[in-house]
Amino acid sequence: MVSSSLRSCRVPMCSPLAYPIPVRRRRMRARLFVAGLLVVCSAGSLPAQRGGGAGPQNPFLGNAQAISEGENLYNQRCTTCHGAGGGGGETGPAIVSGDRMDIGASDAQTFNIIKNGVPGTPMTPQRLPDTDIWKVVTYIHALRGTAIDNPLPGDVAHGEAVFWGKGQCGTCHILSGKGGLTAPDLSNIAGVRKASSIVDALTKQQHRVYGSGGAHLRTLPVMDSYLPVYVTTTDGKTFDGVLLNEDGYSLQMIGNDQQLHLFDKAKLRRVAVETRSLMPTDYDKRLTPAEFKDLMAFLTRQGTAAAPAPGRRGGPPQAEREREHASH
């Protein structure tokens, strides 16, 4: 007869502890293998669930008319959830950033998400012709990308001639190692700014700079670089240019002579710094419509496309990168 205390120590045959240690080890290794296999399989299926892999190419990429039509379709079908301009709505996430796997890291994935929806979320399949879906995708691509992804049409060679000639842009700006030093380097302007932002910089005194993914800044940034400065030394010499750095003891500036000037403030009689930019904002009036169009075609092709951010599931988009202020 087995005592009650011994009966309480018995291990049921259905428990893993009922088997010898070597058997338990083999079973554990098998379970770990199966678990690892499931993880790999589920990770591989995630892109398919979220829109697929490389997939077909976008037939409207860079097509200005398709972007415009896609914007109209987006405004009709998507703003309720995802907000105007893809900035996020009451029930849907912001879609202006392509660094999240669950909202489409590529055009093909975005197409499949719109067409097939995302199971278990409010995102349902959209009953639209494939052509219209691609136009919406093209509009979203334009929201996410910079000018280099969606350059403006025009005569690029003529635009370059306008840049160095009538437009006098090279007097202040440097581009590909050539030009002035009193304004930002424009060698990668299309890689960091949107086409509309470049146009605005040349035509509007107050304009917004687009951040990563295309979202508008809520407030205009304070001008803190390339500000006009006027210096008079104690011996009466005057220097005009743009301010680089200043502290309580020294000042550094690039003069209109394109030279770097360093000053000891103790030897300065007067320092005047203006908060306005030297950048003209009436190029749409200084140039003919054809000249302005071609200049924009040239500028929106200066730079390289940024490498896509590694996709990840859920969570907020990656922190915005700093953008150059090419409008100063």
Kindly report the CATH number assigned to the domain that includes residue 250: 2.30.30.100
58 assigned to some structural domain: no
Q: Which amino acid is at 173?
A: H
Strands 178-179, 260-264: parallel, antiparallel or unpaired by DSSP? unpaired
pLDDT exceeds 50 at position 320: no
What pTM was estimated for this model as a whole?
0.57
What pLDDT is stored for residue 224 in this prediction?
A: 58
45 assigned to some structural domain: no
Q: Which two three-digit tokens encode residue 15? A: 């428990």
190 assigned to some structural domain: yes
Q: Which two three-digit tokens encode residue 84? A: 């105007």
Banded pLDDT at 164 (limits 50, 70, 90): very high
Read off the pLDDT of residues 37-53 as tens digits, 9 standing for 90 and up. Answer: 333 333 334 444 444 44
Does residue 77 share a domain with residue 171? no
Read off the pLDDT of residues 221-239 as tens digits, 9 standing for 90 and up. Answer: 445 568 899 999 999 999 9
Does residue 203 share a domain with residue 118? no
Provide φ and ψ at 240, rounded to 5°. -115, 145
Cα distances from 61 to residues 68, 145, 177, in angstroms, run 12, 11, 31
56 assigned to some structural domain: no
Note down the domain range covering 242.
228-273
Stretch 143-147: mean pLDDT? 79
Q: What are the strands, taking DSSP E only, across 176-312?
A: 178-179, 228-233, 238-246, 250-255, 260-264, 268-273
Q: Which two three-digit tokens encode residue 13? A: 């045959």
For residues 148 and 300, is the Cβ–Cβ distance under 8 A? yes
Read off the pLDDT of residues 97-128 as tens digits, 9 standing for 90 and up. Answer: 544 444 556 888 889 999 999 888 888 999 99
For residues 299 and 163, is the Cβ–Cβ distance under 8 A? yes
Does residue 254 share a domain with residue 238? yes
CA-to-CA distance for 215 and 52, rounded, in angstroms?
26
Does residue 294 share a domain with residue 269? no
Does residue 293 share a domain with residue 266? no
- The count of domains in the chain is 3
CATH code, domain carrying 188: 1.10.760
Strands 268-273, 174-175: parallel, antiparallel or unpaired by DSSP? unpaired
Q: Which of 149, 124, 153 is nearest to 65 (CA)?
A: 153
Q: Which of 206, 75, 48 is nearest to 143 (CA)?
A: 75
Read off the pLDDT of residues 168-212 as tens digits, 9 standing for 90 and up. Answer: 999 999 999 999 888 889 999 998 888 878 888 899 876 655 444
Q: What are the strands, taking DSSP E only, across the chain?
A: 174-175, 178-179, 228-233, 238-246, 250-255, 260-264, 268-273
Does residue 285 share a domain with residue 199? yes
320 assigned to some structural domain: no
246 assigned to some structural domain: yes
Does residue 166 share a domain with residue 79? no
